[in-house]
Structure 1
Amino acid sequence: MRKTAKITAICNQKGGVGKTVTAVNLGIGLAREGKKVLLVDMDAQGSLTASLGYQRPDQMENTLATILGRIILDEPVSPGEGILHQAEAVDLLPANIELSGLEVTLVNTMSRETILREYLNSVREQYDVILLDCCPSLGMLTINALAAADQVLIPMQAHYLSIKGLEQLIRTISNVKRKINPGLEIAGILITMADLRTTYSREIIELLRNSYGDKLRIFNSIIPQSIRAAETSAEGRSIYLHDPAGKVSAAYASLTREVLAS
């Protein structure tokens, strides 16, 4: 019998911390290692969808909002419906602006925290890994992601304010674990967009390791700050194709190995 996919929510309520870049490059990194990967875009801005080469998400008819809307209405969803097969060997369930309206609808829905879980349970036997690229808020869509996930990967910048925001996120994860999803764990904290040439970045990383290192895993792989990583979103392809010999590509390959070893 095939093992069902491990579901990982890539989550931080702060924007601009590299969630989408991490979802793309970890997902494609795992696919390059032979894993069957589904990426789910959970942000109404459609950043993950655009980053994988689908540059006009708002013109798409079949998206995460469509699928979840049908589950809310108790309408049938056929297996694999809405899933796109991307050129770098990952599958994608795209998102667009319609997801904003769905978040409002969820507030008044029965079992509102577990609508996404219901959908993912119907497809998880087809995959080894499912990565959820969460929106930068702690609203109902993020709660759905945490309710569906086995674990949470937290990307965060080497900034003091990022550490302060981490406390709130950990409290939310603890609440979801206690009330909705007792199996939920924190996979680890991934330091992103770090400028290791500066004393400030190094001090923040040391503070993070001293504050949380005994309680939470902090990945050894650190994603460096690089304009090459930012360029990949516009290119619609991974860092492995865009800058294969670069330091960001090496860092995400290292992260992929850490995730596979855990």
Structure 2
Amino acid sequence: MHVWAIANQKGGVGKTTSVVNLSALLGEQGKRVLMVDMDPQGSLTSYFRMNPDAIEQSVYDLFMYKGRVPDNLTAQLIVDDVMPNVALLPANTALATLERNISQQGGMGLVLSRALAQLWDDFDYVLIDTPPLLGVLLINAIAAAQVLILPVQTEFMALKGLERMIHTLQMVTASRKKQLTYLIVPTMYDRRTQAGQRSLRTLRQTYDDRLWKSAIPIDTRLRDASREGMSITQLDPTSRGCEAYTSLLKTLQHDLP
């Protein structure tokens, strides 16, 4: 099982969009895919027309057992077939209380890793959507991941957020005593603007060895797909957004160490 976390300590950079569309493309390949919503805002859960304020069973339940995960609990929380070959472990807004309730408990950084271990033979890929804040949920996602995907909007303030995310990654990998492969993915790129061009140039100068060589463009069809609760490959497989995510998936599957 391959586990990818999509993370950035800044919101609005395309994390949820990336999880949905990479998962859909993997599903089209016939892979069994699980998406995990670790964000208390529940953007990924909401994408598929579920209400994070009302949903009863969610990833929150995994954290109720002092770091243990009862046998078969994880499978009971999964919503099947939100897209072809793609399932979802949803979030509810109660996740926002975890920092206050469990921050002093030991062993809480590995809850998601233990949960996914129960599903090792059930899925080919797991993609984790993460909150834009450093805390127990983001730490769980990084600890569970084999590859970290860092979407970064091609504008100045998003680049500052990327610096914080890289620093967090360095701290976590130092504590794990294990290097984590990561790929920086420029998103919302508008080649018509000087700001977009400058930001992409800065990324290439600063992070060249960790940077995806292309970019996810601004594409209104991605927004249309979100509004319809669909992936871009379901809505418009000929769109620029779909082409970009197809290229990104190829890099993730074949070009990373």
| Structure 2: segments with no counterpart, 5+ residues | none
1:129 aligned residue: 125
**Relative to structure 2, which stretch is displaced further, 169-178 or 102-111?**
102-111
C-alpha spacing 1:10/1:181, structure 2 compared with 1 (3 Å): farther
Cα distance in 1 between the residues matched to 2:66 and 2:112: 9
Cα distance in 2 between the residues matched to 1:124 and 1:74: 14
TM-score scaled by structure 2? 0.92
**Relative to structure 2, which stretch is displaced further, 134-143 or 175-184?**
175-184
SS of the equivalent of 1:154 reads strand
What pairs with 1:187-198 in structure 2 (closer than 5 Å)?
188-198=183-193
What pairs with 1:91-102 in structure 2 (closer than 5 Å)?
91-102=87-98
2:158 aligned residue: 162
**Relative to structure 2, which stretch is displaced further, 13-22 or 251-260?**
251-260
C-alpha spacing 1:154/1:138, structure 2 compared with 1 (3 Å): same
Of 72, 76, 83, which residue of structure 1 is paired with 2:78?
83
C-alpha spacing 1:161/1:148, structure 2 compared with 1 (3 Å): same
Cα distance in 2 between the residues matched to 1:179 and 1:87: 36
Cα distance in 1 between the residues matched to 2:93 and 2:10: 19
SS of the equivalent of 2:75 reads coil
Cα distance in 1 between the residues matched to 2:234 and 2:70: 40
CA RMSD of aligned residues (A): 1.8
**Relative to structure 2, which stretch is displaced further, 109-118 or 149-158?**
109-118
Contact 1:224–1:247 at 8 Å: present in 2 too?
yes
| Structure 1: segments with no counterpart, 5+ residues | none
1:237 aligned residue: 230
2:202 aligned residue: 207
1:150 aligned residue: 146
SS of the equivalent of 1:58 reads coil
1:254 aligned residue: 247
Residue 183 (structure 1) shift: 4.5
| Corresponding position: 1:48 with 2:41 | no
Q: Which runs of 4+ in 1 moved over 3 A?
A: 70-79
Structure 1 residues 176-223: Cα deviation after superposition (integer angstroms, max 9, x where no partner):
11113624221x111111101122211211111111103x2x113311
Contact 1:39–1:130 at 8 Å: present in 2 too?
yes
Identity %: 36
